[in-house]
Amino acid sequence: MSELKKINNALISVFYKDNLAPIVKKLHELGVTIYSTGGTQNFIEEQGVPVETVEGLTSYPSILGGRVKTLHPKVFGGILGRRELESDLLQLEEYEIPQIDLVIVDLYPFEETVASGASETDIIEKIDIGGISLIRAAAKNFRDVLIVSSRNEYPELLDLLNDKNGFTDLSDRRNHAVNAFNTSSHYDTHIFNYFANGEAKAFKQSIQKSQVLRYGENPHQKGIFHGDLDTLFDKLHGKELSYNNLLDVDAAVSLIAEFEECTFAILKHNNACGIASREKLVDAWKDALAGDPVSAFGGILITNREIDKETAEEINKLFCEVVIAPAYNSEALDILKSKKNRIILVQKPCELPTSQFRTLLNGVVEQDKDLKAETKKDLKTVTKKSPTENEVKDLLFANKIVKHTKSNTIVLAKNGQLCASGVGQTSRVDALRQAIIKAEAFGFDLNGAVMASDAFFPFPDCVEIANQAGITAVIQPGGSVKDQDSIDYCDNVGIAMVMTGTRHFKH
């Protein structure tokens, strides 16, 4: 039999009627018989298009408050009947079941109803039964039936009806079947997760949108991003984000979210190589860049303030991959756009996930995001000397950075500026030494600076080295059986130390 099939009969039953009118009018123009029920039937009739009722086809009314409308052999037989099987065709004829060639059905808004904070009764009523069954049936029989399971597919359907004059081919029907199973599996995932209520009975996640990346972490690896970046960013300029760009952008967005004051950060390979908080944005940029002007080359820049002309002129002196800000004034945007490939993003308000997961061995590991943000009240002074007000500010500043830096890590900061960090070292002592060498290489005076550690000090060696470099205050989680050794050393040399009780490993 030919793969090209004409649409003679259509079943339409949808929750969302947006942009449906042109489709029903086109189907009528093509001589298609339309079957429908309830609100969709009324909508079609309002368009001046004749419609056959499902109740008339099945000889059964909609019952149980609308819970049962289309669940009937005369409906599902018309969808599931195999046109190439003579036995199926004979049964359809025997029971006077019309062959349904097009099914347009969407689902009750379960996900939206949960998000609205509705009662459990309302949420349960939004678990679609008939719709999900119709979608699966039509998608299963894609060799004969075209399934449209979302209003997002309406433009494509209308183009198809116009271009092919009411005919579909196998590739059309298969592609829409893929979309339909995407719709149904996504819907069931959200229902499962609602009922599981956070209990780890199984791992199920569903993201409906995706985009193929140029490549993965390296050119020989394939890469795909699953998600909708348009909800988080407006892209104003530049090439497409790469896999590595996305990793850095994710790290940048998480880091800048820690700061309410005017702050600029520069990231490279997921770690901050420069960050500063200042009253004026251009000063925040200059001091962030001073933290490591070498690593900043080709980095990711992010701020929590609108970028102005003065700051853009300074940024434009540096080659950078991505610039992220909540806004840009017109002059700043023109300056930043002067580099053809530079990616310019506007970060929009968007609620981000509070859990994270990654593939591990032959499965997936999942955890809550590290959303703990220490404040002054979380600091417990454990030394005889207490930190000054300025040191407390710097300790909290450094602690925010250490939380978003690869372990083992040490962060050195002074006057709201990152002096240097030791990143991803197998030894905390090595991380500290690396930070000191970098700070001195870029001309920082560490006398009066503070030190933050992502985890406790097992020995007093780190505070000894810090003291020799001029560090005057330390923040760390504590918890070592030898905490007292570090405290005693700090007391002997006059260093203030605070503990938070919270470790911030990042791997």
Backbone φ and ψ for 290, nearest 5 degrees, come out as -65, -20
Q: Which residues have C-beta within 8 Å of that of residue 193, sequence separation ≥ 6?
A: 204
What's at 207, amino acid-wise? I
Would you state the structure tokens that stand for residue 56, as one six-digit string? 């008339």
DSSP class of residue 63 equals: B
Coil, helix or strand for 147?
Answer: strand
Question: Whole-angstrom Cα distance, residue 57 to residue 202?
Answer: 41
Residue written as token pair 């909540």 = 326
140 is catalytic: yes
- The 10 Å CB-count burial string (b at 16+, else e) for 391-408 is bbbbbbbbbbbbbbbbbb
269 is catalytic: yes
SS3 readout for 316-380: CCCCEEEEEECCECHHHHHHHCCCCCCEEEEECCCCCCCEEEEEECCEEEEEECCCCCCCHHHCE
Residue 232 Cα distances to 116, 347, 366, angstroms: 20, 6, 23
Q: Which of 6, 25, 126, 269 is catalytic?
A: 269
Interaxial angle between packed helices 21-29 and 154-164, expressed in degrees from 0 to 180 and rounded to the nearest 10: 20
Q: What is the separation of C-alpha 101 from the centre of its chain, rounded to a whole number of angstroms?
A: 37
Whether the upstream peptide bond of residue 408 has omega within 30° of 0, thus cis, is: yes
The active-site residue out of 6, 25, 28, 140 is 140
CB 385 within 8 A of CB 496: yes
Please work out, in degrees rounded to the nearest 5, the angle formed at the alpha carbon of residue 395 by the alpha carbons of 389 and 398.
145
Looking from the CA of 477 toward its CB, the CA atoms found within 13 Å total: 20
Among all residues, which ones are annotated catalytic? Answer: 140, 269
